Amino acid sequence: MSDKKIIAFFPEAAFGPALNSVGIAQACEAMGHKAVFLTDPGMAGVYSGYGFDEYLVNMSEPMEPDAMAKFWQDFINGHIPNFNKAPIDQIENYTKECWEAVVDTAKWAQKDLPSVLDKVKPDLICVDNVILFPAIKQYGKPWVRIISCSENEIEDENIPPHLSGCWENDHTAMTEYREKFAEVIKPAHDDFNEFLTSCNEAPYPLGQFFEASPYMNLMLYPEAIAYKRKVPLDKKRFQYLEGCVRKDTDYIIPAFKKHNNKPIIYVSFGSLGSGDTPALTRLMTSLANMELRILLNVGDYKDEYTNIPDNVIVDSWFPQPSVIPQMDAVIHHGGNNSFTECLYFGVPAIIMPYVWDGHDNASRVHETGFGFKMHRQNWTDGELKKNIQHMLTDNEMMSRLSALSIDMHTEHGPSKAARLLDKVLKQHENGDSQVTHLEEHA
């Protein structure tokens, strides 16, 4: 290990990237380093709750945390009608508006980041976001990119474009998505390039909002189901973490009033997707009519659920890394945390995606045979029951999941990430501007 260094983590202001970085930070501190977090005020308290120091960076017009949370809830809930659309049909609405908002976050962050970095004085910066923050690149210390979304965030012409949900071999659909994305996103991209120029950074090609780090890029994705790229990723600069599951509080499954000895399923549409209470209520009702037990994560909307069936337990939050290992199956929205955690613990999943990389993860889990992709609305009770029965009884699927789980546990993503970050620090101490001698496997 290097001498004790300060490693600053700067995740996107969302629980998926935030909690992934927590897992890596925990492993870094176990090695003797000091981990701190740079965070949007809207996520203040998340990292200190795990014992880390926090430094605030405004990524939008300053407002109270409750107001910020409501802003994003309203943003997501306002797009619920678009969630039923195909990914290519979301480009003109949800996807475009998201990228416009993301560009604004980069502009706002640039106001605070230089002074915050001068205060923290990190030896290494780890950023988990989809957009470049020039101050981090220009700070003069090594920086690492963490990719907590699908691995196709690193583009390759042979694989589905990020956010497209395309099947691996449907190159016609890939081309159509790329062309429409470039057309619709161009105004936001032009705006971002103007910002880059004002920060003395070279503009990016159309459609690109970030670049790979010259030091190291950490992907949470399991390498066993990685896409077949035209240009393989250089393992000296790109490493798969095989998931990055954090330590969380233990969870004891409560007694159910009904079906207490039946298979158990965890259902979650994530902290933002839980705003679609009609979709979750319909899902709860359908599952409650089966001989199952259900844990239903409903986020901030628990008060909206009444007449809860006896084989269902509803709550605002569950410690997923402690819950999923105890499940027989999971139904989720395709967020990369839920996606990798199910594979890490060898639990089959139905993915009902609505936005962002959920589309990619749903397609990937289906085409690799580790679960099913289902439309979030256009399903029947019979289809849902058939897929659940398949997951509960398919011994071949369970055997393959078990093998993948063992492989992912062998790597242990947070520990692997900490070792790689330590090597980046050592390389920098030796005076090299880039990491060029990292082993292929940490």
What is the tens place of the pLDDT at every residue in 344-374?
999 999 999 999 999 999 999 999 999 999 9
Q: How far apart are CA 72 and CA 402, in angstroms?
A: 37
Rounded to whole angstroms, the Cα distance separating 365 from 380 reads 20
Determine the 3-state secondary structure of 295 from DSSP. strand
The residue to which tokens 């209520």 are assigned = 281
Contact 342, 348 (CB under 8 A): yes
Q: What span, in angstroms and rounded, lies between the C-alpha atoms of 346 and 402?
A: 5
The domain segmentation of the chain, as residue ranges, is: 6-89+102-169+210-242+412-429, 264-409
Range 103-132 burial, b when 16+ CB lie within 10 A, else e: bbbbbbbbebbeebbeebebbbbbbbbbbb
The 10 Å Cβ neighbour count of residue 437 is 11
Which segments in the chain show pLDDT lower than 70?
1-2, 65, 69, 432-442
Q: CA 226, CA 240: separation in Å to the nearest integer?
A: 9
User: Rounded to an integer, what distance in angstroms lies between the CA atom of residue 199 and that of residue 406?
Assistant: 46
How far, in Å, are 129, 261, 327 from residue 13 at the CA level? 9, 39, 28
User: Rounded to two decimals, what is the model's pTM?
Assistant: 0.91
Question: Would the CATH topology of 6-89+102-169+210-242+412-429 be identical to that of 264-409?
Answer: yes
- Please, what sign has the CA dihedral across residues 83, 88, 92, 94? positive
Q: Which residue from 42, 2, 5, 45 is spatially nearest to 25, judged by alpha carbons?
A: 5
Question: How far apart, in whole angstroms, are the C-alpha atoms of residue 318 and residue 201?
Answer: 42
Are 241 and 176 a contacting pair, CB within 8 Å?
A: no
CATH of domain 264-409: 3.40.50.2000
Cβ atoms of 361 and 353 within 8 Å: the answer is yes
**Res 272: pLDDT:** 76
Domain spanning 6-89+102-169+210-242+412-429 has what CATH number? 3.40.50.2000
pLDDT score for 436: 42
Q: Which amino acid is at 33?
A: H
pLDDT at 2: 54
Angle at 269 between CA 264 and CA 270, to 5 degrees: 110
Structure tokens at 301: 């909307």
Integer Cα distance of 77 and 215 in angstroms: 38
In our burial notation (b when 16+ CB lie closer than 10 A, e otherwise), range 175-211 reads eebbebbeebbeebbeebbebbeebeeeebeeeebbe
Could you tell me which of 135, 118, 181 has the C-alpha nearest to residue 155?
181
Going through 89-129 in order, the beta strands assigned E by DSSP cover 124-128
Instruction: Give the containing element (helix H, strand E) for 285.
Output: helix 277-288
If 0-12 CB within 10 Å is exposed, 13-18 middle and 19+ buried, where does residue 276 land?
buried
DSSP for 345-375, please give it.
TT--EEE---STTHHHHHHHHHHTTSEEE--
